Amino acid sequence: MRWPVVIVGGGVAGLRAAITFSRRQIPFLLLEATQSPGGRVQSTFTRAHSNGSGVFCLDRGFQVLQPSYNELRHPDLDLGRPNSPLELKYFYPGARVFFDGKFHALADPWRHPISALASVFGPIGTLSDKVRVGLLQQHILSLGDAVWSGPKKTTIEYLQDWGFSPNLIERFFRPFLGGVFLEDALGTPASFFRFVFQNFAKSPVAVPRFGIGALTRELVQRLPVSSIRLGSEVQSFQEISGGFALGLASGESIETGNILWATEAGPAQKVVGRYISGTGKSQANLESYYHEARALWFASPKIESTGPVLFLDGERRGQINHAAVMSEVSPDYAPPGMSLIALNTLSMTATTESILSHAVDWFGPGVKDWRLLGEDRIRNALPLNFPGPNESDSLATTDRRIFLAGDYTTHPSLEGALLSGRRAAERIVAQITGD
Ligand SMILES: Cc1cc2nc3c(=O)[nH]c(=O)nc-3n(C[C@H](O)[C@H](O)[C@H](O)COP(=O)(O)OP(=O)(O)OC[C@H]3O[C@@H](n4cnc5c(N)ncnc54)[C@H](O)[C@@H]3O)c2cc1C
């Protein structure tokens, strides 16, 4: 049998593409290398007690959803609503920033910047910081999709151009954006910063009630079971008359007329790299173009209510960058009477002991009762080089029957992955149907 389309890669981009083919009734097969779909979007459930009672929900690497993402709100998905099947649970739209030996509550800096910064950064931020952050918010909201345009600058250059004081940058922008970009030098393009700022200004962030993996589960549920094959790594391909033969690790060969290649950059480069054009990446070793992520998950007897808030390191001490008591955001992340804490670090070398010692300063001596449930280290967490959403060239290879999708072809977010998958699928649909 020759499939009209084969999707390679079952992350969010590949699954989103599959939903488009399914809706347009174009037969397709999705091949995923691992035994679980979702790629970087996974939750695992860990038993609280050896007798099996109660579970903790650990989101791989800690991640959140921006309900304002256009692609989540696309009618095919309609997952941005509070009462969508994801049952979104919201973070408080501010943060607690640790410096001078205690936490300082920061009200909503994205939506009410002037009053938020007046409360916390009063003693240290300048008056002009407060005015500028308000002006920046108005500017970014007014830009719409034009957040992606403008001179190429890094985020730190952009913040400095706006005249923010070093205090504000060190105490707030670096830890907050460090958690989003997975790097705190703030070398990430300013266009991505504007995109992130715009989304934070539109809505507080959220997690699904039963973990970020619910997004994957929701996408999979909308697809015919027989259209997804797990444990099917594509290792090679060759051109055959009118299409391609894909070679699987198992030795099996699968024929298709069109390929939608939705893996990370590395496997794309390795297998279909010689066809990649437009991204300027074909010569690069794309696998090295990723930031790493590291998160540690702890169980604790129920700790004093912290609220659904993000904790930030305003001292730039280096062990913990940000933390959250996830069971305060969604109680279903931990069994009754217990709490689940996520500690995130940008250091790949900090020891667990040094991270816990940092946690004692933040959460007090009760940290000695915490139990390590798991640690995630994700090497290819976020792509470093990315073209943004407008570069349609990045979607196709030189052969117009191989289309690329994945966050590295747009931008490093769920929005970028969903957009890339939908758009690549729509192009293949147009090619097949002539629409
Ligand atoms: C720790 C962390 C935190 C994040 N936080 C956020 C956040 O808060 N908000 C946000 O919007 N985004 C966040 N992201 C980014 C978001 O998760 C990713 O952008 C998105 O999941 C990428 O999806 P993808 O489909 O492009 O790639 P992947 O999820 O990497 O999917 C690629 C798939 O291809 C498969 N594959 C690879 N090679 C082959 C092969 N040869 N054959 C078959 N299959 C193959 C892989 O197994 C994988 O399943 C975060 C990411 C991480 C890691």
**Tens digits of residue pLDDT in 61-86:** 999 999 999 999 999 999 999 899 99
> Does ligand 1 have an atom closer than 6 angstroms to the CB of 63?
yes
State in Å: Cα 272 to ligand 1 middle: 18
Which residue minimizes the CA distance to atom 31 of ligand 1?
11
Q: Determine the CATH number of domain 43-91+206-211+290-383.
A: 3.90.660
Reported as half-sphere exposure (CB side, CA atoms, 13 A), residue 226 has a value of 1
| CA distances in angstroms from 80 to 76, 124, 203, 205, listed in the order given | 12, 37, 10, 11
pTM of the model: 0.95
State in Å: Cα 38 to ligand 1 middle: 7
- Please report, to the nearest 10 degrees, the dihedral formed by the alpha carbons of residues 110, 116, 120, 122 taken in order: 110
Residues of the chain with CATH 3.50.50.60: 2-40+212-288+387-433
For residue range 11-36, list pLDDT tens digits in order.
999 999 999 999 999 999 999 999 99
- Between CA 384 and CA 183 the distance in angstroms is 10
- Between CA 15 and CA 216 the distance in angstroms is 8
Give me the pLDDT at residue 361, please: 95
> Does ligand 1 have an atom closer than 6 angstroms to the CB of 13?
yes
Give me the pLDDT at residue 51, please: 66
Residues of the chain with CATH 3.90.660: 43-91+206-211+290-383
Q: What is the mean pLDDT of residues 163-185?
A: 93
In this predicted structure, the answer to whether residue 196 has a pLDDT above a threshold of 90 is yes
> Does ligand 1 have an atom closer than 6 angstroms to the CB of 19?
no
Q: Which atom of ligand 1 is nearest to the CA of 61?
A: 1
Q: What is the mean pLDDT of residues 303-323?
A: 91
In this predicted structure, the answer to whether residue 141 has a pLDDT above a threshold of 60 is yes
State in Å: Cα 39 to ligand 1 middle: 5
For residue range 77-118, list pLDDT tens digits in order.
999 998 999 999 999 988 899 998 999 887 777 777 666 666
Give me the pLDDT at residue 226, please: 96
Mean of pLDDT over the chain = 90
Quote the percentage of the chain above a pLDDT of 90: 73
What confidence tier does 385 reach under pLDDT thresholds 50, 70, 90?
confident
> Does ligand 1 have an atom closer than 6 angstroms to the CB of 196?
no
State in Å: Cα 255 to ligand 1 middle: 26
| CA distances in angstroms from 197 to 144, 202, 325, 336, 410, listed in the order given | 12, 9, 23, 35, 17
In this predicted structure, the answer to whether residue 323 has a pLDDT above a threshold of 90 is yes
State in Å: Cα 41 to ligand 1 middle: 6
Give me the pLDDT at residue 129, please: 81
Give me the pLDDT at residue 80, please: 92
What confidence tier does 282 reach under pLDDT thresholds 50, 70, 90?
very low
Give me the pLDDT at residue 261, please: 94
Q: Determine the CATH number of domain 2-40+212-288+387-433.
A: 3.50.50.60
In this predicted structure, the answer to whether residue 8 has a pLDDT above a threshold of 50 is yes
Identity of residue 210: F
Give me the pLDDT at residue 283, please: 41
> Does ligand 1 have an atom closer than 6 angstroms to the CB of 414?
yes
State in Å: Cα 414 to ligand 1 middle: 8
> Does ligand 1 have an atom closer than 6 angstroms to the CB of 212?
no
Q: What is the mean pLDDT of residues 377-406?
A: 80
In this predicted structure, the answer to whether residue 126 has a pLDDT above a threshold of 80 is no
What confidence tier does 284 reach under pLDDT thresholds 50, 70, 90?
very low
State in Å: Cα 9 to ligand 1 middle: 9
